[in-house]
Structure 1
Amino acid sequence: MSEFTNKKQNRVNALARFAHEMMVTTDKGKLVRENEKLISQVIPSEVITLFDVLVNEHQNQNYPELKTATNKILHLFHAPLMAYPAIKPAEDSFLDLLIRNNTAMENLLKSMKKAVKNMNQNPDDQETRQQLKVKLGRLRLFDQHYQIKENVLFPALETHWTDFHCVQLMWSYHDDIRRQMKDLDAALNEPEFDLKKTNKLLGDLFFNLFAIRFREEHILFPHILETIPQEAIHQMLIDSQEIGFPYVSPEKPESVSTPVFTDGTTVNLGTGQLRAEQIIGIFNHLPVDITYVDEYDTVRFFSTPKKRIFPRTKAILGRQVHNCHPPESVHIVEEIVSAFRKGEKDQASFWINFKSEKILIQYFAMRNEQGAYQGVIEVTQEIGDLQNLNGEKRLLDWSSE
């Protein structure tokens, strides 16, 4: 076993040297020729560890530069990864469903190509543009696929792998795709239609969607099947149903476990005594999403209101908070937590436009009676209706609501 581990480490070290030289050399062709044997023998597990090394080296640095470099490296690895004899996931299993949703996504992209061709032949054709908008609307549902990865798959990888940081790079691509879809939707709705800009957005979007699919099915999923127990993979299927698959779902959905209550014993909260089911009911009937991260930066609790704003699954419980955010924004969370821990601040607020809604996101430092830091409470709320309030309403009038 140690011989195998040493061999892999030696190859990863060689691949890392190759990757570093690829980022700076002016003669990439010569470098590739000199490392032809190294490249031709690459396997998924080596790529996972290599990208873990590269991501760790680029923490809080230039992610666009890293993504450009890894795109070029993976292009060189394409042939050996395609040829790798990967284990096939069982039918209707978690990974099988992710693959089938990838196929549905690709079929949707293929159906868009005819509309794109017609748009380029006649840019003023409103009907063609409307067809593209409808198809884009359906394509945007594919975000559920990425939500499942971020909220179910990635937490599991953090549990089972030591070299899991490659997922941060993939999450960054997810955010690129979301941004490109949003920008494309805006471009298709502009009164002064810009064909060149729209084609650029379409090209970038198609490239990233296909690239992520390749990385999932020829790097990530094969290594998962080789390293993670089947029962853990099956648990991901159960957890993922709190989010839902975008296009292809399990024929017989797994039931999501319900809370287990105590025998009716109440908890003394100082200002009243409540049973466990009452406490849960209060949290889940508030029109806000609540997440609690303890003093050790570990996610310990989240509420489940009828309408969640951002997805949460039980897979995030016990997860380090800095792993719960994409790499481009995680430094903001770390800055907030640091300021709260030092006692410099007690609150931070942000508001964003999200899916046609105005969202208020607030972080509150939690402290005990002696003022010692005990963690962070995140509260997320849709405030569009609150922004529209005018005057006063002193009488009950349900007919106006």
Structure 2
Amino acid sequence: MNNGNKRVTRLIGYVKGLKDGLDGVKLYAKYKEDIESVKPQEAFEIFYSLIEEEIQPKEILVFLDKVINVFYKSLLNHRWEKPDNDNFLMDLINENEALVKKTDEIKALMKEPDLSIRKQKLLSRVKELEEFNDHYLKKENILFPYMEKTMDKFHGLSIMWELHDVVRNQIKEAVNVIKDDDSSEQQVNKAIANLFFGILGVKKKEELILFPAASEVLSDDDWYQMHKQSMEYGFPFIEKSSSETINEEEKQIINNGFIKTETGILNFEEVLMIFNTLPVDMTFVDENNRVKYFTRPKDRIFPRSPAVIGRNVNNCHPPASVHIVEEIVESFRSGKEDTAKFWLNLKGKDILIQYFALRDESGNYKGVLEVSQDITEIKSLEGERRLLKWGQ
């Protein structure tokens, strides 16, 4: 075992000691030399080891910041180089810098002495932070899958996804407190403080651990592909970067083959047109729990990027809902169930999410088809329409 691996093993012991509530000063003294030389990738190994022991990301958040603060100096001094193709990385970095400007503006508004006026000024500025969700979506749907494909330890990114969900909830909570006419100054201050701690804490963890580690393990082509895929997302608080030129090789689609069934013959292009024209989002997960295909309808309900292809489906959902995914898959695999459905309200739209077990002619389980549909208009239909009316 090399020195780096030995250091990781010892630091796992240190983190477990913190988790168990042992004396932090004594622990630091015992592991001081290892703490002062920890590297970003080693931090991933440490936290991944906890997940391997079935410690949930939500449990790790309890002591995560304490660990990061202890590792801070070593991580800050770690020297790393940006990739040659750094467009995607720089977009994320620039979004973070723009975020700081937004939080600084909110800090300035907190000095307004009249609470009622302060709330009025704060509301739009805090709601504006909801746009930063696209920053997190690009990480979850593009960057995380590429990193997970390189090494198992990056499955520890589920901890950062959990942090994203915490921040999302903190933004909602802050908005609700500010909108509440009866909320006190203390409540407003606490909500903003919690939000800043969460959202700026994620930024710090990106800069100290995520970005350096990603730059060390991903290829230039990976960065090119990620940047290209990011064009489908928003660019919170910055100008959208220009899309890179697509290689001629990528423009070529094999479409001279035909799919022949008892009900007709289609070529490859026709299959794609049909799938992508259907007013639903469809995602196919194979029998090995790997995402194999998704459609690209005109208006997607949930974001998907090609980076998820080959990704374990458990890593495509927030940690808090993974147990539901596992229950659906195992119920389908065992033959106990064939369908599952959920419905929710998302940004004022009624969304129906259905899961279907896929089985071959012999009844063998072959995967899951997820189908999401905006049923807002369908629910509003009344009576009959037998005459053609465009656009209504």
Q: TM-score, normalised by structure 1?
A: 0.90
Which residue pairs with 1:57 in the alignment? Answer: 53
Q: In the TM superposition, what is the alpha-carbon distance from 1:363 to its structure 2 partner?
A: 0.5
Matched, 1:281 2:277: no
Change (3 A) 1:48 1:190: same
Aligned pair partner of 2:232 in 228, 239, 242: 242
Which residue pairs with 2:139 in the alignment? Answer: 149
Contact 1:89 1:96 in 2 (8 A): no
Residues 212-263 of structure 1 deviation map (CA, whole Å, 9 limit, x = unaligned): 1111111121122222222222221112222243233564312565571413
Q: Secondary structure at the match of 1:58?
A: coil
Contact 2:134 2:234 in 1 (8 A): yes
- Mapping of 1:356-375 within 5 angstroms? 356-375=348-367
Matched, 1:111 2:105: yes
Which residue pairs with 1:382 in the alignment? Answer: 374
Residues 151-189 of structure 1 deviation map (CA, whole Å, 9 limit, x = unaligned): 111111111123112201001111111122222223333
Q: TM-score, normalised by structure 2?
A: 0.92
Matched, 1:346 2:338: yes
Unaligned stretches of 5+ in structure 1? Answer: none
Which residue pairs with 2:19 in the alignment? Answer: 23
Contact 2:127 2:171 in 1 (8 A): no
Q: In the TM superposition, what is the alpha-carbon distance from 1:386 to its structure 2 partner?
A: 2.2
Which residue pairs with 1:219 in the alignment? Answer: 209
Which residue pairs with 1:171 in the alignment? Answer: 161
Residues 253-276 of structure 1 deviation map (CA, whole Å, 9 limit, x = unaligned): 12565571413x432132122222
Aligned pair partner of 1:38 in 29, 34, 39: 34
Change (3 A) 1:173 1:229: same
Q: What is the letter of the counterpart of residue 255 of structure 2?
A: T
Which residue pairs with 1:330 in the alignment? Answer: 322
Structure 1 stretch displaced more, 265-274 or 65-74: 265-274
Aligned pair partner of 1:307 in 299, 302, 306: 299
Change (3 A) 1:27 1:221: same
Change (3 A) 1:108 1:16: same
Give the percent of matched residue pairs that are identical in Structure 1 and Structure 2. 38
| Counterparts of 2:365 and 2:228, CA distance in 1 | 35
Matched, 1:267 2:259: yes
Change (3 A) 1:214 1:29: same
| Counterparts of 2:263 and 2:180, CA distance in 1 | 55
Q: What is the letter of the counterpart of residue 89 of structure 2?
A: L
Residues 282-335 of structure 1 deviation map (CA, whole Å, 9 limit, x = unaligned): 111111100011112111111111111111111111111112112111111011
Q: What is the letter of the counterpart of residue 140 of structure 2?
A: E
Question: Aligned pairs, how many?
Answer: 389
Q: Secondary structure at the match of 1:36?
A: helix
Unaligned stretches of 5+ in structure 2? Answer: none
Residues 29-88 of structure 1 deviation map (CA, whole Å, 9 limit, x = unaligned): 3322333332222221221211111222235x4x33311111111111112212222324
